[in-house]
Amino acid sequence: MRTIVELPDQQIEALKAMSEQQGLSRAELMRRAVAEYLAHHQKTSSENAFGLWKKHGEDGVEYQQRLRQEWDE
């Protein structure tokens, strides 16, 4: 997919220098940069869920037991 990204001149010049130094196109450098960013910033569903119960102020097991006690009533 093609996309247009506005970058400051300083970043363009740095990419140009890296491109020449590494023998890669600026497009390839951008693809690699985006891939690296996503690898470090995307959370898995388990990471998104971790700690969700903390704000409830009640232990999850205690909550479960309390709800199950209603079944006996």
The DSSP string of 51-71 is TGGGGG-S-HHHHHHHHHHHH
Cα–Cα distances (Å) from 25 to 11, 12, 18, 19, in that order, read 14, 12, 9, 5
The least confident of 3-12, 13-22, 54-63 is: 54-63
Domain boundary assignment for the chain: 9-72
Amino acid at 60: G
pLDDT digits (tens, 9 = 90+) for 25-54: 999 999 999 999 998 888 777 766 777 777
Of the chain, the percentage scoring pLDDT greater than 70 comes to 96
Please give the pLDDT value at position 31.
95
- Cβ(20)–Cβ(29) under 8 Å? no
List CB contacts of 22: < 8 A, sequence separation 6 or more.
Answer: 29
